[in-house]
Amino acid sequence: MKKVLEEKPAESPPGPHEVPFTTISGRPIEPLYGPDRLSDFDYARDLGDPGQFPFTRGVHATMYRGKPWTMRQFAGFGTPGETNARFKYLLENGGHGLSVAFDLPTLMGRDPDHPLSLGEVGKCGVAVTSLADMETLFDGIPLDQVSTSMTINSPAAMLLAFYIAVGEKQGVPQERLSGTVQADILKEFIAQKEYIFPPRPSMRIIVDMIRYCTEHMPKWNTISISGYHIREAGSTAAQELAFTLRDGIEYVQWCVEAGMDVDSFAPRLSFFFNSHSDFFEEIAKFRAARRIWARVMRERFGAKNPRSWMCRFHAQTAGVSLTAQQPYNNVVRTALQALAAVLGGTQSLHTNSLDEALALPTQEAATIALRTQQIIAHESGVVNTADPLAGSYFVEKLTSDLEAEALEYFRKIDALGGMVAAVERGFPQREIQEAAFQFQKAVERKEKIIVGVNEYAMEEKPFPILYIDERASEEQIGRLQTLRATRDNERVRQGLARLQQAARGRDNLMYPILDAARAYATLGEMCDALREVWGEYEEPPVF
């Protein structure tokens, strides 16, 4: 590796007295906060007790005394057989739920033999090409005894169909399946960029899926509305809060416009936030998220069921904050970020492994990440009381400031005609890009110090990582060729034709997707069928 740190930066760094006191998002912080900061503060209106509207202090009355957060670690690599073995290991060692990471061809709806899948199969997650792979992935794992979270977005409906079909083969009806598909297509356009179809048909798939789950899968969380990727792409804390919740408003709006009763589906919506390095700003962000969502659901959408008002969320520590340099320091960063998520009242948590900036985690690194959560839960004492930071002048002021900043973004996005229209015009994308560039400049000016990177650097030894070769790709292409030679190809052809017919009309797409999945149509074939009808989205490449 190059010695980048011995070079003088182009601009000379400011002395200590010139470095501004700001959060990692650039928010100025005062030297002291006192009662004058909360002059119009009203406990019942602005906080309420935990479990009470507007849920600023948490969604449950007893918080972690009643129910600890779920420690849900994300895993997936190589072939379905390899990941199946890892899942069984996790379940045998006390895990309650599974969280599936898919590879890029799966995330993008491409079969492993497509030219763009070159070098990508099984690298960032597990390859799932058809129902046959899903059967292998969950072989020997009874689907009525685990909950499964699947990080899948553009082709979420197809992967959900594979999962339902595996349940049918195991004799587990869909009513008893529990888990989540991420299915948040808006944040794909905004930040993570794993979109396939244009925004409007993409939204239609999500609405069809929410309707299907509402009618048939009472234990399934239909969507995980995600700020994680928005933050990783470089947004500020307030932008993450604003864009995520405004995405949530957009989904609710589309479902209501499609004729659904808000209280029929809103209780199954869930959220997913980043837990970044700026300790108090993150805690304030989580508290503000609950307050904003409760008010939006009650006041903007007229929801009457208290469960519709609750912003239940999963959190993951900030992968982007971890450094390739001195990787053991990442354990400390992750512990602080995880503590912020717990003090912010998260319902479940993934802690990143110390080798996140180098590769997928080794088993050793993944174990330390899980132990970090267990130490917080069992040793730190923070679980003993709900929302312990409530009433802090600083935390309450930050919570209100973040809320105000998010509401200002809501006004701008509403004025643009909603989030789909804002995305089509590149508004959130530009805001995030600008914030990412400003942060990089601040680091290079040493206004923000990253330990081991722009300060306290040192010579290092090579670090052992998990290395994934091309074997998974060859195996996966072989399995696909066998499948195509042995399935009923006429049934597949008819299934894909019916899917296209539904896409051209207004019927719920979940039914033809399920039929095609049961016939062993591949994910790439189903997505290609829809690409022919809707086209593919390409964003204008601006920087």
Tell me if 458 contacts another protein by CB under 8 A.
no
Residue 309 beta carbon to another protein: minimum distance, rounded to whole angstroms: 33
# chain residues binding another protein, by CB under 8 A: 55
- Specify the residue for token string 């105000």: 404
| The only residue of 93, 467, 485, 490 in contact with another protein, by rule CB under 8 A | 467
| The only residue of 233, 245, 249, 315 in contact with another protein, by rule CB under 8 A | 233
Tell me if 202 contacts another protein by CB under 8 A.
no
Q: For strands 269-275 and 313-317, give the pairing.
A: parallel
Tell me if 465 contacts another protein by CB under 8 A.
yes
Closest CB to another protein among residues 80, 234: 234
Residue 167 beta carbon to another protein: minimum distance, rounded to whole angstroms: 29
Residue 324 beta carbon to another protein: minimum distance, rounded to whole angstroms: 4
Q: Alpha-carbon distance 403 to 518, whole Å?
A: 46
Residues between 106 and 135 with contacts to another protein, criterion CB under 8 A: 107-108, 110, 115-120, 123-124
Tell me if 482 contacts another protein by CB under 8 A.
no
Tell me if 444 contacts another protein by CB under 8 A.
yes
**Over the range 118-152, which residues count as b (16 or more CB within 10 Å of their CB) and which as e?**
eebbbbbbbbbbbbbbbbbbbeebebeebbbbbbb
Tell me if 232 contacts another protein by CB under 8 A.
yes
Q: Alpha-carbon distance 160 to 80, whole Å?
A: 16
Tell me if 541 contacts another protein by CB under 8 A.
yes
Closest CB to another protein among residues 102, 138: 102
Rg for the chain, CA atoms, rounded = 23
Residues between 340 and 369 with contacts to another protein, criterion CB under 8 A: 357-359
Quick check: bond before 54 cis, omega within 30? Answer: yes
Tell me if 188 contacts another protein by CB under 8 A.
yes
- Specify the residue for token string 């996790």: 90
What ranges make up the beta strands (E) of 161-288? 178-181, 220-221, 223-226, 269-275
Tell me if 472 contacts another protein by CB under 8 A.
no
Closest CB to another protein among residues 135, 444: 444
| The only residue of 295, 463, 508, 531 in contact with another protein, by rule CB under 8 A | 463
| The only residue of 10, 32, 458, 485 in contact with another protein, by rule CB under 8 A | 10
CA distances from 22 to 122, 280, 281 (A): 41, 12, 10
Q: Which amino acid is at 485?
A: A
Q: Alpha-carbon distance 240 to 191, whole Å?
A: 10
Neighbours of 300 (CB within 10 A): 13
Half-sphere exposure of 171 (CA within 13 A, CB side): 1
Residue 445 beta carbon to another protein: minimum distance, rounded to whole angstroms: 10
Q: Alpha-carbon distance 245 to 360, whole Å?
A: 30
Question: Under the rule (CB under 8 A), what is the footprint of another protein?
Answer: 1-2, 4, 7, 9-10, 104-105, 107-108, 110, 115-120, 123-124, 188, 192-195, 232-234, 320, 323-325, 357-359, 433, 436-437, 440, 443-444, 450, 453-454, 462-463, 465, 467-468, 470, 538-543
